[in-house]
Amino acid sequence: MNSLQKTDPEVFEIIRDEEGRQEYRLEMIASENFTSPAVMEAQGSILTNKYAEGYPGRRYYGGCYNVDKIEEIAQKRAVELFGVEHANVQPHSGTQANMAVYFTVMEPGATYLGMDLAHGGHLSMGHPKNFSGRLYRVIPYSVRIEDHLIDYDMVRDLAKKHRPRMIIAGASAYPRIIDYSIFGQIAREVDAILMADIAHIAGLVVSGLHPSPAHDADFVTTTTHKTMRGPRGGIVMCKKKWASALDSCIFPGMQGGPLMHVIAAKAVALKEAATREFTEYQTNVVKNAKTLADELMNLGFKIVSGGTDNHLVLVDLTDKGVNGAQAQEILESAGITVNKNAIPFDPLPPGKASGIRIGTPALTTRKMGTKEMKLIASWISEALQNKSDEAVIRRISGGIRELCEAFPLYHDKKNEV
Ligand code: DSN
Protein residue with its CA nearest to atom 4 in ligand 1: 31
Instruction: Read off the CATH number of the domain in which 341 is found.
Output: 3.90.1150.10
Residues 326 and 411 both lie in one domain: yes
232: in domain = yes
Residues of the chain with pLDDT below 70 are 1, 412-417
Residue 33 contacts residue 281 (beta carbons within 8 Å): no
Residue that is last in its domain, among 238, 273, 308: 273
Which of 122, 132, 201 for mutating ligand 1's site (highest number of atoms within 8 Å of CB)? Answer: 122
pLDDT tens for residues 228-258?
999 999 999 999 999 999 999 999 999 999 9
The Cα–Cα gap between 417 and 201 comes to: 33
Q: Name the residue range of residue 368's domain.
A: 276-415
Residues 312 and 264 both lie in one domain: no
Residues 243 and 310 both lie in one domain: no
Residue 165 contacts residue 193 (beta carbons within 8 Å): yes
Residues 237 and 329 both lie in one domain: no
18: in domain = no
Protein residue with its CA nearest to atom 2 in ligand 1: 31
How many domains does one find in the chain? 2
Nearest alpha carbon to residue 273 among 262, 283, 282: 282
Which of 29, 31, 314 for mutating ligand 1's site (highest number of atoms within 8 Å of CB)? Answer: 31
Residues 309 and 238 both lie in one domain: no
The Cα–Cα gap between 38 and 82 comes to: 21
- Adjacent-strand bridge partners of 237: 87, 220
- Amino acid residing at 72: E
Residue that is last in its domain, among 273, 293, 311: 273
Residues 269 and 287 both lie in one domain: no
Pairing between β-strand 26-27 and β-strand 336-337 as defined by DSSP bridges: parallel
The Cα–Cα gap between 363 and 92 comes to: 26
- What is the per-residue pLDDT for 2? 84
Which residues lie with the beta carbon below 6 Å from any ligand 1 atom? 31, 94, 122, 172
410: in domain = yes
For the packed helices 390-406 and 370-385, what is the interaxial angle rounded to 10 degrees? 160
Q: Which listed residue (16, 24, 41, 51) is catalytic?
A: 51
Residues 86 and 176 both lie in one domain: yes
Protein residue with its CA nearest to atom 1 in ligand 1: 31
The Cα–Cα gap between 126 and 170 comes to: 12
Report the atom number in ligand 1 closest to the C-alpha of 32: 4
Residues 259 and 154 both lie in one domain: yes
Residues 299 and 268 both lie in one domain: no
379: in domain = yes
Which of 172, 198, 225, 235 for mutating ligand 1's site (highest number of atoms within 8 Å of CB)? Answer: 172
Residue that is last in its domain, among 256, 273, 290: 273
Active site (annotated) includes residue 85: no
List, as one string, the DSSP characters of 250-313.
IIIII--S--HHHHHHHHHHHHHHTSHHHHHHHHHHHHHHHHHHHHHHHTT-EEGGGS-SSSEE
Residues 267 and 325 both lie in one domain: no
Q: Give Cβ neighbours of residue 331 (< 8 Å, ≥ 6 apart).
A: 337, 338, 356, 380, 383, 384
23: in domain = no
Report CA(359)–ligand 1 centroid distance (Å): 12
Active site (annotated) includes residue 53: yes
Residues 103 and 189 both lie in one domain: yes
Instruction: Read off the CATH number of the domain in which 195 is found.
Output: 3.40.640.10
- What is the per-residue pLDDT for 417? 34
pLDDT tens for residues 388-414?
999 999 999 999 999 999 999 987 555
Category of 367 on φ-ψ map: left (φ > 0), alpha (ψ -120 to 50) or beta = left
Active site (annotated) includes residue 226: yes
Report the atom number in ligand 1 closest to the C-alpha of 95: 7
144: in domain = yes
331: in domain = yes
Residues 264 and 306 both lie in one domain: no
Output the CA angle 411-414-417, nearest 5 degrees.
155
Q: Which listed residue (23, 53, 85, 179) is catalytic?
A: 53
163: in domain = yes
